[in-house]
Amino acid sequence: MSGGLRLAVLASGAGSNLQAILDGVHGRDGIEVVAVGSDKPGAAALSRAQQRGIPTAAFPLAEQADRAARDGALAEWIAGRGAQLVVLAGYMQLVTPAFLARFPHAVINVHPALLPAFPGLRAVEQALACGVRVFGVTVHFVDEGVDTGPIILQRALELPYAREPDDVLPALHAVEHELLPEAIRLIARGAVRIDPADPRRVLLEPGTAGGTSP
Amino acid sequence: MSGGLRLAVLASGAGSNLQAILDGVHGRDGIEVVAVGSDKPGAAALSRAQQRGIPTAAFPLAEQADRAARDGALAEWIAGRGAQLVVLAGYMQLVTPAFLARFPHAVINVHPALLPAFPGLRAVEQALACGVRVFGVTVHFVDEGVDTGPIILQRALELPYAREPDDVLPALHAVEHELLPEAIRLIARGAVRIDPADPRRVLLEPGTAGGTSP
């Protein structure tokens, strides 16, 4: 995917991760958001996209026969816009295996925990119940499990006194807003590939993702 | 435990965490290592302690009827030295419930992962197999499970290009050598207590453990 990248972004809520993508990578280095979709017709994410002149569409489950039909229509619309990478940015629906098969190793998600710890819903609440001192964010490829796909980037956040979600969420959202655009930039540069020796792991081109190269 | 603390340290191997305790907290602020024990009579940790004039003893399982008898003798020796806190520092044996009952909420362990992720043996290998980008260290109270007790301190280490244990272990050991003495200092200062609302969680006195206070 070197040399530019056409993105579709899916979001269900306020769209702050979409905004980070629009502010941080859209229109730079050949990266373009070409479609923003939602399961919720009223999602603020759709307005944010429209303000930037980006085509939007909503695919509420209630208007379709079932999830397969909904995801089929969604995939058709995304593919029709020429998207090469689908970014789940606060999208509160599981995508079907057929949807994933349409975009192989090209659907990514941002999750508010250091996976494999605390997959699924209410990740920060799960972490607080365990009394952890380190929280974090993961950007990963989506597979057929719940937050089980190969990890692309992670970033940690040490909050040793956190007791309530509000002690964690604002800082964690700020990390998401950095990490998701960073992952998109790396994919656009061709710096991210599945490990040929182990398809559960992602290899990063050294020197691209911060930290210390080996 | 405010105002001084008498420690027993148990180790099975080279004793680098014991050395960090001897260098970092022993003889300061009323903290004294009063006993160093091992399951292995030849453990280098014992020599390190002897060089500092600290009483040592080995309790190999083969010389006892069973684990209960071994841990009984070990607990008796530790209690006889007046230890108030037992530190497992690379101690490769599980301790029995009877041992824990003898030192309630006063046995701590250092583990080379961000628990609850990757408990048990070969934690770094487990993490590498999952393709994580963030490694880390946990100091926790020991309970009857394997690395399941309440978390005292954690510190993260971002190594996005790590592929082999040797890419991780030297840096992770350096974090252990900081974090375990730090936890001991906090316990000695009375800054660590079990959350009365939830005995699975540990509360830290704000401002004591680095990071940002709420």
pLDDT in tens, B107-164: 999 999 999 999 999 999 999 999 999 999 999 999 999 999 999 999 999 999 999 9
ipTM for the whole predicted complex goes beyond 0.90: yes
Is residue A212 predicted with pLDDT exceeding 80? no
The reported pLDDT for the residue numbered A2 is 47
The reply to whether B203 falls in a domain is no
Which CATH number does the domain housing residue B135 bear?
A: 3.40.50.170
User: If pLDDT is split at 50, 70 and 90, which confidence band does A66 have?
Assistant: very high
The reply to whether A204 falls in a domain is no
Is residue A207 predicted with pLDDT exceeding 90? no
Torsion sign, CA atoms B80, B85, B91, B96: positive
Averaged over successive runs of 10 residues, the pLDDT of chain B (214 residues) comes to 83 95 96 97 96 97 94 98 97 95 97 97 97 98 95 97 96 97 96 93 85 44
Whether chain B has a CB inside 8 Å of the CB on A125: the answer is no
Q: How far apart are CA A182 and CA B195, in angstroms?
A: 38
User: If pLDDT is split at 50, 70 and 90, which confidence band does A3 have?
Assistant: low
Cα distances (angstroms) measured from residue B49 to each of B34, B53, B55, B143, B192: 10, 6, 7, 26, 27
Which is higher by pLDDT, B214 or A147? A147
Q: Which chain A residue's Cα is nearest to B148? A: A130
The reply to whether B202 falls in a domain is no
Whether chain B has a CB inside 8 Å of the CB on A156: the answer is yes
The reported pLDDT for the residue numbered A213 is 43
User: Using one digit for the tens of pLDDT, what is the confidence trace for A19-40?
Assistant: 999 999 999 999 999 999 999 9
Residue A118 has φ and ψ, to the nearest 5°, of: 60, 55
- Cβ–Cβ of A116/B130 closer than 8 Å? yes
Whether chain A has a CB inside 8 Å of the CB on B161: the answer is yes
The reply to whether B198 falls in a domain is no
Cβ neighbours of A162 in B, within 8 Å: 214
Q: Which of B26, B111, B140, B177 is catalytic?
A: B111
B173 is catalytic: no
The reported pLDDT for the residue numbered B214 is 41
The DSSP string of A63-93 is GSSSHHHHHHHHHHHHHHTT-SEEEESS--S
The reply to whether B121 falls in a domain is yes
CB-nearest partner of B211 from A130, A161, A202: A161
Is residue A4 predicted with pLDDT exceeding 90? no
The reported pLDDT for the residue numbered B3 is 62
- Which of A126, A137, A158, A203 to mutate against chain B (most B CBs within 10 Å)? A158
User: If pLDDT is split at 50, 70 and 90, which confidence band does A136 have?
Assistant: very high
What would the two tokens of residue B198 be? 């939830």
The reply to whether A187 falls in a domain is yes
Tell me, rounded to whole angstroms, the distance of Cα B96 from its chain centroid: 16
Is residue A73 predicted with pLDDT exceeding 60? yes
User: Which residues have CB under 8 Å from B178's CB, separation 6+?
Assistant: B20, B155
Is residue A196 predicted with pLDDT exceeding 80? yes
- Which pTM does this prediction carry? 0.93
User: If pLDDT is split at 50, 70 and 90, which confidence band does A208 have?
Assistant: confident
- Which of B132, B148, B200 to mutate against chain A (most A CBs within 10 Å)? B132
Which is higher by pLDDT, A210 or A81? A81
Number of domains comprising chain B: 1
The reported pLDDT for the residue numbered A51 is 96
Residue whose tokens read 């014991």: B18
* Domain span at B9: 5-193
